[in-house]
Structure 1
Amino acid sequence: MRRVVDLVGKPFQEGGKGPDGYDCWGLAVEVFRRHGILVPDYRLTCETVTSGVTSKSDQWARCVGEVPAPALIVFTTVGIADHVGVYLGAGKFIHAHRSAGVAITGVDHIFWKRRIEGYYAPGWLT
């Protein structure tokens, strides 16, 4: 987690990819980069990114069983997959959300736990 702790508290910024603000996908790209993994910067809406991740098994592999860190977490918050975070291990994930900015949250948090659509690893690494 120390690789990302400096990101906590940064504000949410639509289309933001740092360093002064992030949206959920911009933050995911940065967190994976800090772990030495380059992922595509789709630069589309979050809804488009998440539906692309969940449908592109050649690029993203759904995690079954043990979840590696880092792994992309896709959330369904308004009836569609529309938010992503990055699983950091030890039951924690980092994400950029409109209401809180960049935060580290537990996957068992009452709001987020029931909204997890799935965990995904970059398919080219599996």
Structure 2
Amino acid sequence: MIDVSDLIGRPYQENGRGDPGYDCYGIVIEVSRRFGFFLPDLLYNKETARSEDYITCLNLNLINTVFPGAILEMAYQERLHVGICINTKEFIHAVNSGVRINRIGSIEIRGIYGYR
């Protein structure tokens, strides 16, 4: 189990990768690092981005089950949105109201990804 308590409530910031805030991919980069995995930083247009465009450069595989560190692709306000599982029941993500934890499945899941 990793500690993410210092991230909860941090503000949302477009293309945020730390102080003062995070966007959804920024929080995935940070939490992945805490799990011991390093994702490349990349910027993308959340309105038109498709996960297929990024899977190979992120070194991820589509998988069938959640586990701590698995990355979730979700349907959120019709935009590409990602979060990362902190255990088998919850994930952390960044939305307009800030960084928060939700139950897995509370937002429609489009794909689950694991590190190669």
The alignment's TM-score, normalised by the length of structure 1, stands at 0.79
Specify the SS of the correspondent of 2:84.
Answer: strand
Specify the SS of the correspondent of 1:3.
Answer: coil
Gaps (5+ residues) in structure 1?
A: none
In 1, the alpha carbon distance for the partners of 2:58 and 2:92 equals: 25
> How many matched pairs?
115
Runs of 4 or more above 4 Å deviation: none
In 1, the alpha carbon distance for the partners of 2:66 and 2:57 equals: 16
CA displacement 1:38-59 (0-9 Å, x = unmatched)? 1111122345373434x53982
In 1, the alpha carbon distance for the partners of 2:95 and 2:112 equals: 18
CA RMSD across the alignment: 2.2
The structure carrying a bigger helix percent of its residues is 1
Is the 2:40–2:58 contact (alpha carbons within 8 Å) kept by the matching residues of 1?
no
Question: Among 99, 102, 107, which residue is 2:104 paired with?
Answer: 107
- 1:77 deviation in Å? 2.5
Identical columns (%): 32
The structure carrying a bigger strand percent of its residues is 2
CA displacement 1:7-32 (0-9 Å, x = unmatched)? 00000000100032000011110110
In 2, the alpha carbon distance for the partners of 1:79 and 1:14 equals: 17
For residue 5 of structure 1, what is the amino acid of its counterpart? S
The alignment status of 1:74 with 2:58, answered yes or no, reads: no
CA displacement 1:64-92 (0-9 Å, x = unmatched)? 2x423101100123445x10000111310
Gaps (5+ residues) in structure 2?
A: none
